[in-house]
Amino acid sequence: MNTSRGIPPIPPVASWTSLLLVSLTIAACNDAPVEPSASTVPSRSVAASVSKDDGSSRPGAVYTLTNAAGGNGVIAFHRAPDGALTPIATFATGGRGTGGGVDPLESQYAVVLNESHDALFAVDAGSDQLSSFRVGSDGALALAGTVPSGGKRPISIAVHDNLLYALNTGDNTVSGFRVTGAAQLVALPGSTRSLATGASGAAAIRFTSDGRFVIVTERLSNRLEVLPVRHDGRLGAPVVTAANGSASFGFDITTRNQPIVSETQGSLTSYALASGGGLTPITASISTGGAAACWVTITSDGRFAYATNAGSNTVAGFSVDEGGHLAALTPDAATGDAGAGASPIDLDHVGTRFLYALEAGTGTIATFAIDSGGKLAARPDTPAGAPASGLQGIAAF
Rg (CA), the chain: 19
Q: How confident is the model at residue 333 (pLDDT cuts 50, 70, 90)?
A: confident
Encode burial over 219-254: b for 16+ CB neighbours within 10 A, e otherwise.
bbbbbbbbbbbeeebbbeebbbbebbbbbbbbbbbb
CA distance 188 to 323: 36
368 part of a folded domain: yes
Domain that holds residue 295: 67-396
Alpha-carbon separation of residue 337 from 18, 151, 259, 329, 378 (angstroms): 17, 38, 25, 14, 7
With left for phi above 0 and alpha for psi between -120 and 50, is residue 292 left, alpha or beta? left
3 part of a folded domain: no
> Per-residue pLDDT for 6 more than 70?
no
CA distance 244 to 242: 7
14 part of a folded domain: no
- Which residues fall within 8 angstroms of residue 125, CB to CB, at 6 or more apart? 67, 97, 98, 105, 110, 153, 154, 155
Residue type (1 letter), 206: R
| Average pLDDT value for the chain | 89
48 part of a folded domain: no
2 part of a folded domain: no
9 part of a folded domain: no
- Over range 91-108, report the average pLDDT: 97
Q: Which residue, among 338, 329, 326, 341, has the nearest Cα to 368 in the 3D structure?
A: 338
Domain CATH for 135 = 2.130.10.10
- Over range 10-36, report the average pLDDT: 41
41 part of a folded domain: no
pLDDT at 15: 37
35 part of a folded domain: no
CA distance 140 to 132: 13
CB atoms within 10 A of CB 108: 32
The total domain count for the chain is 1
* Model pLDDT for residues 220-241, shown as the tens digit of each residue: 999 999 999 999 999 999 999 9
- Which residues fall within 8 angstroms of residue 47, CB to CB, at 6 or more apart? 301, 302, 303, 320, 321, 322
* Model pLDDT for residues 121-157, shown as the tens digit of each residue: 999 999 999 999 999 999 999 999 999 999 999 999 9
Torsion, CA 14, CA 67, CA 208, CA 251, rounded to 10: 40
> Per-residue pLDDT for 335 more than 60?
yes
* Model pLDDT for residues 60-72, shown as the tens digit of each residue: 999 999 999 999 9
pLDDT at 307: 98
pTM: 0.89
